[in-house]
């Protein structure tokens, strides 16, 4: 078993090496720095009369301690999690440490057999990947390069699969970055940088048409197209309020069963 395991690791290294970009942000140890130093923390007073004990021609620099650092993470799950990667060429790699950078839409692989070097796997060679959080919940991400849509980014990117049947309900998981805003007189006094979650939903129909929907019964029923009255009755009977993904999943499953 040991020679077989080593052979699988070598094959993974060789295959991924043709589908990767080095994740340079993760190959070096994180340095602890003063956030004020990297955010231009020095402020110059416009008038030295504001400083007690200075002469009329003096110039004083003071450190702005208001910056509160970074909140959030660019990753779907912040920790490395053991997962599975299925490549378009047919290779299937299991129990490998991966992360999904939702901000840049990149799958990152930690090569523990290569000095814990992390690499970005070429999305065009990935069919799907699966990972679990610390509670054991499984997340499946897939690509649909053949989807019928005018948005090339959707064809190139990843979707979290909520339900896959005759129709498929997908969730686009992304992040936005909001820089701190407190320096100028009209600032909002936000003293930290932040990554924020962004979610959008899509319905993939049997003909591969990809339609953006809202997390509401009306939007999903309209996108499905027919059997509207039956679905409206079902929503009322089941008391679906669409506050969570599960209600949307239940509705699409019902449609597929009709």
pTM: 0.74
H or E element: which one contains 111? strand 106-111
- pLDDT, residue 73, reads 93
Q: How many domains does the chain have?
A: 2
Question: Looking at the structure, do residues 181 and 235 belong to the same domain, yes or no?
Answer: no
Higher per-residue pLDDT: 28 or 86 = 86
Read off the pLDDT of residues 98-154 as tens digits, 9 standing for 90 and up: 999 999 999 999 998 888 899 999 999 999 999 999 899 999 999 999 999 999 999
Domain span holding position 193:
65-213
Q: What is the pLDDT of residue 48?
A: 41
Secondary structure class of 150 (helix, strand, coil): coil
Same domain, 116 and 139: yes
The pLDDT value given to residue 82? 93
Residue 103 domain flag: yes
Q: 139 and 108, same structural domain? A: yes
Asked if 203 and 174 sit in the same domain, the reply is yes
Of 244, 72, 105, which Cα lies nearest the Cα of 174? Answer: 105
* Residue 8 belongs to some domain of the structure: no
Please report whether residue 235 resides in a domain. Answer: yes
Answer with the residue of higher pLDDT: 178 or 173: 173
Task: Check: CB of residue 177 under 8 Å from CB of residue 206.
Answer: no
The answer on 228 and 181 residing in a single domain is no
143, 170: one domain: yes
CA 150 to chain centroid: 22
């Amino acid at each position: 078993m040991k020679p077989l395991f080593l052979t699988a690791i070598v094959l993974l290294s060789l295959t991924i090496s043709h589908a990767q970009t080095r994740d340079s942000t993760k190959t070096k140890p994180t340095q602890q720095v003063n956030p004020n130093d990297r955010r231009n923390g020095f402020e110059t007073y416009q008038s030295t009369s504001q400083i007690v004990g200075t002469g009329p021609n003096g110039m004083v620099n003071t450190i702005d301690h208001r910056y509160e650092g970074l909140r959030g993470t660019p990753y779907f799950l912040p920790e490395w999690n053991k997962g599975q990667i299925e490549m378009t060429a047919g290779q299937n790699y299991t129990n490998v440490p991966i992360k999904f950078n939702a901000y840049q839409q990149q799958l990152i692989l930690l090569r523990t057999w290569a000095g814990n070097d992390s690499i970005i796997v070429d999305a065009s060679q990935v069919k799907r990947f699966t990972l679990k959080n610390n509670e054991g919940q499984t997340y499946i991400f897939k690509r649909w390069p053949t989807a019928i849509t005018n948005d090339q980014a959707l064809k190139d990117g990843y979707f979290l699969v909520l339900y896959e049947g005759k129709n498929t309900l997908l969730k686009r998981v992304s992040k936005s970055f909001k820089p701190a805003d407190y320096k100028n007189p009209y600032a909002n006094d936000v003293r930290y940088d932040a990554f924020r979650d962004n979610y959008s939903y899509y319905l993939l129909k049997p003909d591969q048409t990809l339609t953006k929907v809202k997390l509401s019964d009306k939007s999903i029923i309209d996108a499905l197209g027919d059997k509207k009255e039956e679905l409206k009755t079902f929503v009322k009977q089941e008391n679906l309020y669409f506050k969570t993904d599960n209600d949307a999943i239940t509705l699409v499953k019902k449609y597929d069963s009709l």
